[in-house]
Amino acid sequence: MKRRMTRQQKTTIVYGILSVVLILVVLQLWLLTATMNAYLGGDESIIWPAAAASLVCFGLNAGLLRYLYIMERP
Amino acid sequence: MSEPDREQVYAAPDGKPQSEQPRWRKDFPIDWPEDNYVARRDFTKFLVLTSLAFTAGQFWIGFQNILRKRRGEPPLRFIADAETIPVGGAVTFNYPDEHDKCVLVRLDEATFAAFSQECTHLSCSVVPDPERDCFRCPCHEGLFEMATGRPVAGPPRRPLARVRIEFKQGGVYASGIQERTS
């Protein structure tokens, strides 16, 4: 039987997810600025690896958000 | 028999009991724990949307790079006759498009250098300053070395794009653009 979480437990989980998502988004921001700088400087070598890394970060974020939706399901 | 709801429905943000709360807060009670939960949850959703935007930005840079590669090298274009430029003098020209301003400088009898005039900070036009032996950006006082185009002062961090030059029958020609990170 699925145990229903209290609101306090859910809030703690949301705080945890928010912290991880925030770190990943800051990492993505850094990736974007570094890639833009490299692109404008004519350096093409990091463009696609950085895009792949950013996609992975987004995948993790989307997964965490999905967990949030699952948690809210009655 | 149903269990009583043990969730705290109302808790003022200052943590004081209900009797000590100001009148306005008693009149308009807010379920603060629920409000906290919803606010953090919605902020998380917004951040995930931001994450998607950053990912889209990364791929946009990738596609712009593909388009840039497809355009290929710009054609050879005449700039000026070498004899007409005195030592320390400069000639402006447009390359590769008519909107891309560039500048050719004569450093000594045998040495020429050409750079894009677009400042690498916020794209203002840099101007040659022969007295200080540099290019100066009037917008934010950025300085670039005249011989190499490297930034030496101000906010720019990347050097000016170098225009490759060739000499043919006494004329100076532009033959390509070299973007640089350092």
Q: What is the pLDDT of residues B140-173, one digit of tens each?
A: 999 999 999 999 999 999 999 999 999 998 899 9
| B181/A10 CB distance under 8 A | no
Same domain, B64 and B86: no
Higher pLDDT, A27 or B132: A27
SS3 B52: helix
Same domain, B46 and B105: no
- Write the pLDDT tens digit of every residue in B83-105: 899 998 999 999 888 889 999 99
Residue of B nearest to A44 (CA): B65
Same domain, B43 and B99: no
Same domain, B40 and B104: no
DSSP A5-64: PPHHHHHHHHHHHHHHHHHHHHHHHHHHHHHHHHHHTT--TTHHHHHHHHHHHHHHHHHH
SS3 B39: helix
Same domain, B113 and B94: yes
Same domain, B62 and B83: no
Most confident of A7-21, A54-68, B79-93, B99-113: A54-68
How far is B121 from B123, CA to CA, in rounded Å?
A: 6
For chain B, how many structural domains are there in total? 2
Same domain, B135 and B170: yes
Is B49 part of any domain? yes
- Write the pLDDT tens digit of every residue in B25-67: 877 777 877 888 889 999 999 999 999 999 999 999 999 999 9
Q: Angle A25-A31-A33 (CA atoms, 0-180°, nearest 5)?
A: 105
How far is B121 from B158, CA to CA, in rounded Å?
A: 8
Does A4 have pLDDT greater than 80?
Answer: no
pLDDT at residue number A1: 57
| A15/B40 CB distance under 8 A | yes
How far is A64 from A20, CA to CA, in rounded Å?
A: 9
Same domain, B112 and B159: yes
A17 shares contact with chain B (CB less than 8 Å): yes
Is B4 part of any domain? no
pLDDT at residue number B32: 78
| B36/A38 CB distance under 8 A | no
SS3 B142: strand
Q: Which one of A4, A9, A11 makes the best mutation probe of the B interface by having the most chain B beta carbons within 10 Å? A: A11
pLDDT at residue number B15: 80
Is B95 part of any domain? yes
Same domain, B111 and B163: yes
Same domain, B149 and B106: yes
Does B128 have pLDDT greater than 80?
Answer: yes
Same domain, B55 and B139: no
* Confidence bin at A8 (pLDDT 50/70/90): confident
Residue B35 CB partners (closer than 8 Å, separation 6+): none
**Pair B174, B114: CB distance under 8 Å:** yes
| A6/B7 CB distance under 8 A | yes
- Write the pLDDT tens digit of every residue in A10-41: 889 999 999 999 999 999 999 999 999 999 98
Cβ burial B122-134 (10 Å sphere, 16+ → b, else e)? eeeebebeeeeeb
Q: Which domain holds residue B36?
A: 18-71
The ipTM assigned to this model is: 0.93
Which among A6, A41, A50 is the nearest to B181, CB-wise?
A41
**Pair A1, B27: CB distance under 8 Å:** no
Closest CA to B65 of A35, A52, A54: A35
How far is B135 from B113, CA to CA, in rounded Å?
A: 12
